[in-house]
Amino acid sequence: MRPPKPLLPGLLGPSGAGICKAIRAAREYLCARGTAELLARVGRTIAEVPRARHLEKHFIQASYRGELSRPPDDLLTGQGLFYLTEQRRLFLDCTAGHYQMTWGYNHPWLGAVVREALDAGIVWDDHSNIPGSTVKRLSIRLVEAANGCKPLGSSTSAGARRLIDDEAAINTVLLGVCTGSVAASSALKIVLRRHQAARPGVRPVLVALAGNYHGTDVLAQRLRGMWKQFVRGITFIEVEPNDVRALERAFRTHRGRVAAMFVEPILMNREAILLEEDYLRRARTLCDEADARLVIDEIQTGFWYPGFFLYRQYGIVPDVLIVGKGMAAGLHPLSAIVYRRRDDCLAQYDAISTNGNAPLAAAVGLGCMALVESEAGRIDALGRHYHQRLGELPATCPGLVRAIRGKGLLAGVKFHEVGAALEFHRRAIRRGLWVRVHAYHEGHSTILTKLALAADRGIVDFIVDAFLEILKEMDHG
C-alpha cells in the first residue's frame, strides 16, 4: 500500500512543492547552526536554501500588500530570534514577531508541550461552558501571579478559599476571550456596568493616557481619540503620562464621575514611554479616593519580566488586569482579564470569543509561565544588560539620539528628528535587523524593539554594536 502524499504541498497550490522544499531547507539551516555563526551571516543571502516561486500578495489588503512590482519577500521560517525570508535573506528579529512571540520562533520545549498535549488528547478548542483542565489550571496560575502569592495547589485548597474571600485580591478570571482587543473591551464593559450600578444616571468619565492603545474595538479606540462622532454618553479624558498635576486635575475636575482609569506600564504606541513609580502609585490612590477602578493593561508587558507582570514592581495591585499577546507565546491568540470578585458583573455572553477557551493554547500558556518562572534571574539580568548597553547610544551620538525609553527587553531609541529615525530604520533593515519605527504621528521619532526571551548576551551585544555602527555612519554623513 502506498503511503499518502504529503498534504501541505498540495494545499499551497501549484508551487507548493518548491515552497515546502525551501521551508524545510531553511529550517534545517537555522537548526544546524549556533548563534555565533548565524549572527555572522545576518543580512546576507543564504545560498544553502533553494530558490522557490513564492505566492504573491495581490489579494491582501492594501496596507499590507507592499510593492507588487517586486518579488515577494515575506517570512519563510524562523528559529529562536532568527528568520529567513522567501528571498533567502537572514534576519535577526528584534521585535518578537508582532510583539507576541515570547520565546521567539519555534521554541523546542514549547513545541514539545504542544505535541505532548495533542498526544494526551488535549483538544484545540472548546466551549466556554466546559473549560478543559489546562484552561482551569491557567486561571489558577494567573491569579497566583497577579497577586504575587505562593502556589495554591488547587482551586479547592485552603489557600485558594482564603484568596477567593479576600476582597483586596484580584481573584476572578475571564479566559473566554481570544484577543487583547476583546479582553480590553470586556474590561471596559465591567467598569461601565459597575459605574452604572453605583451611580445611576451619572455620565461616566473614563481616564486614559495620551497615546494609549487598548485594542481595536470602537470603544477602546475612543479612549485614544478616535470615533468621536459615534460614541455618546461617556466623557473621555486623556492625560499625559507621568504628569501628576494633570492627573490630579482630571480627577478633581470630574469628581464623582470617574468610572475608571486605563494605563499601560509601557506605552509601546507612544514611543515606549515608561510610567514612573510615583505616577502609577498616585493613580492608584486617586482611583481609591474616587471609588474608580484602576485598569492596568499588560498586553504588551505581561510575561516579559520576572514575576510575569510589570505592575508588581510598582508595589500596587490593580482592580482589573488585562493580559494577552505573550501569554500563549504566539501559538494561538489567547487573552484574559483578572479582576476583583465584587466586580464580576457581566452576563455569560457579554464578553466572549469563539476561540477564547482554547485548551491547547492554555497548555502553551502554562508552559510559557513555567519558562518565565524558571529563567526569571536570567531574564532580569539580560534586560538590565540590554538597557545598560542601549545607554551607550545617546552618549555616543547625542546629536542623533535623544533618549532610551522602556524597561528591560522592551525598549525605544528616541531620536531628535523623525528623518533620522526613518533613516536608521532603513539602514537597520538593510543590515538584517528587523526593528520597527514610530514615525506616523507628529513628534514620533523612535525605533522600537522587544527582544524575545530566548535572546542571550551575544545577541544583545550584536544588536547594540550594530546600532552603534549605524549611528556612527549616519553621524559622519
Distance CA 278, CA 275 (A): 9
CB 250 within 8 A of CB 237: yes
- Neighbouring CB atoms inside 10 A of 137's CB total 18
What is the CATH number for 443? 3.90.1150.10
Distance CA 234, CA 345 (A): 19
How many independent structural domains does the chain possess? 2
Same structural domain, 179 and 327: yes
Same structural domain, 102 and 160: no
Domain boundary among 374, 393, 415: 374
Same structural domain, 298 and 194: yes
Same structural domain, 180 and 319: yes
8-state DSSP, 105:
B
Same structural domain, 434 and 288: no
Same structural domain, 308 and 433: no
Domain boundary among 339, 374, 409: 374
In a domain? residue 317: yes
Same structural domain, 220 and 91: no
Q: What CA dihedral angle connects 412, 222, 309 and 312, to 10 degrees?
A: 100
Strand arrangement of the beta sheet that strand 172-177 belongs to? 172-177, 335-339, 320-323, 293-297, 258-263, 205-209, 235-239
Same structural domain, 34 and 86: yes
Distance CA 231, CA 225 (A): 11
Same structural domain, 361 and 249: yes
243, three cell numbers: 504628569
In a domain? residue 278: yes
In a domain? residue 1: no
Distance CA 202, CA 198 (A): 9
138 CB-near residues (< 8 Å, 6+ apart): 175, 336, 362, 365, 366
Q: What CA dihedral angle connects 326, 328, 329 and 332, to 10 degrees?
A: -110
Range of the domain at 42: 7-107+377-475
Same structural domain, 139 and 248: yes
Same structural domain, 96 and 121: no
In a domain? residue 364: yes
Cβ burial of 422 (10 Å; 0-12, 13-18, 19+) is middle
32 CB-near residues (< 8 Å, 6+ apart): none
What is the CATH number for 170? 3.40.640.10
**Could you list the mean pLDDT of each consecutive 10-residue stretch along the chain, which spans 477 residues?**
77 94 98 97 98 90 72 94 98 96 97 97 90 94 93 76 87 92 95 96 97 94 94 95 98 97 97 97 98 98 97 96 96 94 87 83 97 98 98 96 98 97 98 95 94 98 98 90
Q: pTM for this one? A: 0.95
**Straight-line distance from the first to the last Cα atom of the chain, in angstroms, rounded to the nearest whole number:** 68
Q: What CA dihedral angle connects 71, 74, 76 and 77, to 10 degrees?
A: 160
Residue pLDDT, tens place only, 29-73: 999 999 999 999 999 999 999 999 999 888 888 877 666 677 889
Same structural domain, 175 and 294: yes
As a whole number of Å, the CA-based R_g of the chain is: 23
Domain boundary among 374, 405, 421: 374
CB 237 within 8 A of CB 267: no
Q: What CA dihedral angle connects 312, 313, 317 and 323, to 10 degrees?
A: -50
In a domain? residue 79: yes
List Cα–Cα distances, 282 to 243, 275, 278, 285, 286, in angstroms: 11, 11, 6, 5, 6
- Neighbouring CB atoms inside 10 A of 38's CB total 20
